[in-house]
A and B are shown apart, each in its own frame.
Chain A
Amino acid sequence: MLEIQNLHATVGDKPILKGINLSVKGGEVHAIMGPNGAGKSTLGNVLAGREGYNVTDGSVSYQGKDLFELEADERARDGLFLGFQYPVELPGVNGMTFLRMANNAVREHRGEEALDGMDFLKLLKGKIADLDMDDALLKRSVNVGFSGGEKKRNEIIQMAVLDPHLMILDETDSGLDIDALKLVSAGINLMRGPEKAIVLVTHYQRLLDYVKPDFVHVLRDGQIVDSGGPELAQKLEKEGYAAYGADEAA
């Protein structure tokens, strides 16, 4: 699904990613953990194609294609989903309208028919019921005036509707109380499947109590310095990142 080789990237003139190697296959859940400033969010943004993040070396192949040949919106239509650490507020943009447009963009790309308002509503109701959430958020402007938890729930609803293949979830657990964390985790677990891959980017281990990863990687100063199974996350929770030379404990 995703092959990252020797990825180097800068933000402005500053090198942030310094040779990342990572292989993610369908059906797998990977967790990328690391202290603040390790480059976790940069990795997500580079993969999603955000402007201002410059790839200086290395390659990324996604579903056999060169990812960097694709614009951000093409990547999204091709099934790459970035769950934002800070979902952006869009004043005046109705949540329902936005999601239907996004869904139709993806559907048309997949050669499926665009859905009209009624059919989309049907699809949406089903997804929302699966998530045990409600559609109140979608009746408002996207993320405007939402609490931190509501913003993250909104990301999960979008993910469920757009049905992506590769999900990169950037600090999706931050700012959530325990009930919201359970709800969001359940939403992520619903997306697991043999054709789906999930990359959880997180500072803390607690999300991993609810979404069990197959692999855990430690990102430190722009490189993956350790990899292992779920037990690695537990170790990090106890010992912090000090063993990897970081000043800050988790």
Chain B
Amino acid sequence: MNAETPLFAEQFEAARPALPDGNASWRQLAFDRFAALGLPSQQREAWRYTSLAALRGELTGQALDSAALAETVAAQKIDGALHLVFVAGQFVPELSSALEGIDGLSIGNLADSLDDTTVDQIVLAGGENPDEALVALNGALVSDGVVVEVAEGASITQPIQLIYLGNPTGLVNIRNIVRMQPGSRATLVETAQDANAAVLNVVNQVTVAAEARLDHLRVMDDGAGANHIAQTRLTLAEKSHYEGFALLAGGAIARYEVQAVIEGEQAHCGLAGIGLGTGKDVRDVITHVDHAVPNCTSDQTFKNVMDDHASSVFQGKVTVRQDAQHTDAIQSNQNMLLARTATANAKPELVIFADDVKCAHGATVGELDADQLFYLQARGLNEQTARQLLIEGFIADVFEAIGDEALRNHLRGLASTWLHGDGWGDHA
């Protein structure tokens, strides 16, 4: 039991009637676990840099007028994608694509897909680890999300885009369950561009079966003052491939955690991300890639650019279990600080029990290079343009992790727009 639990218990009870399956015992189960674990304090290493103070306020959100948001939503839609729009945690079919009729794709919103398998998956996620308290809280309060299953051998060419719009006063809990059957392929994009939730708490549970591949992009470009906390829990089977990319650019706190377990041989797990921050922004990335079996590869590339009083965090862990011989794991975290008051926290960690493996990790912290700046200025570019060009150059290679060219350009465009915003990069 935890000092904050009564506050949450009250909110939990108040929220239940409006939630799908609201009075079900599984929600109580999840809540009890959360109550036992309590909110993780900043004394815990994994939560050292992310304050959950926003969760301690009043979290009952007001309903939003979906129709009024149509324009905002339209601006975020990626051409050619299958769109699923969630407003204040509720699926809005009127703003979304028709979900039927795509061969090999079974997709529906979670609130309408709560069968026993899905419920079990929700409740069991996270276990008894105190660092996973928000996963338990998500389980207790989840309002919606998506359940996706891509059939064996099916290749879904249309990206599946989830668009989140938040509620300025609310805690929004989204749970997505993605099941990639053997040999299937799909691309999932999560977009939170104006998700102004006090706290948006997203949990993704992804299973990639043998020889399947999932490309997974996250846009965390929430509005000012918003907090976006997300976790992807991932298991990879034999010869499967997961390629993840996250852009952490908006909101006061953007925190993304990936827990990946490689369970089948010759699988690959790629994780890439870019953090951009100014003001007092926090960009917090936590990864754990667990190599449980031999002959697998993983690749992590994260870059951050922090200005003003912003801080970035990269706590990246690779575990190579005793049986996981011939693992090839690379991890890299590079940081550029544009102001003396900005901070980068890099904590790469390798835990290796096997003896025949190739593991490399590196972390760097630097600033804009004066020689490079002068070179650009000596060709006529003003200082601000020169700085922007160098910053874009610094992060450019991370986008290569995105295989699809249109999506890569889309993400590049979002980062570029952010970098060209007012007040950015002026804190030399």
Binding site for B on A (CB under 8 A): 48-51, 71-73, 76-77, 81-82, 84, 87-93, 97-98, 101-102, 105-106, 109, 141, 158, 162
Contact = CB atoms under 8 A, between A and B. Distances in A.
Given A50-B374, A84-B375, A91 B393 contact: yes
B contacts with A: majority SS:
helix
Nearest to A72: B377
A90 B376 contact: yes
14 contacts: A50-B378, A51-B374, A73-B377, A73-B380, A84-B378, A88-B375, A90-B375, A92-B395, A92-B396, A92-B397, A98-B379, A102-B381, A106-B380, A162-B379
B394 interface: yes
A102 B377 CA distance: 9
Interface residues of B, number: 24
Given A51-B370, A88-B372, A92-B395, A76 B377 contact: yes
B205 to A, nearest CB: 35
B383 interface: yes
Contacts of A102: 376, 379-381
B270 to A, nearest CB: 19
B151 interface: no
Nearest to B392: A92
Interface in B382-417: 382-383, 385-386, 389-390, 392-397
Nearest to B396: A92
Given A88-B372, A90-B375, A73 B382 contact: yes
Chain A CB within 10 A, most for which of B371, B372, B379, B385: B379
A90 B372 contact: yes
Contact of B394 (A51, A92, A162): A92
B390 A72 contact: no
Given A71-B377, A72-B377, A90-B389, 17 more contacts: A49-B377, A50-B374, A51-B374, A72-B378, A73-B383, A73-B386, A81-B378, A84-B375, A89-B372, A90-B375, A90-B376, A91-B396, A91-B397, A93-B389, A101-B389, A102-B379, A105-B380
A94 to B, nearest CB: 8
Contact of B393 (A71, A101, A141): A141
Contacts of B378: 48-50, 72-73, 76, 81-82, 84
Given A51-B374, A84-B375, A101-B385, A91 B380 contact: no
Chain B CB within 10 A, most for which of A48, A71, A101: A101
Interface string B351-380: 000000000000000000111101111111
Contacts of B379: 76, 98, 102, 105, 158, 162
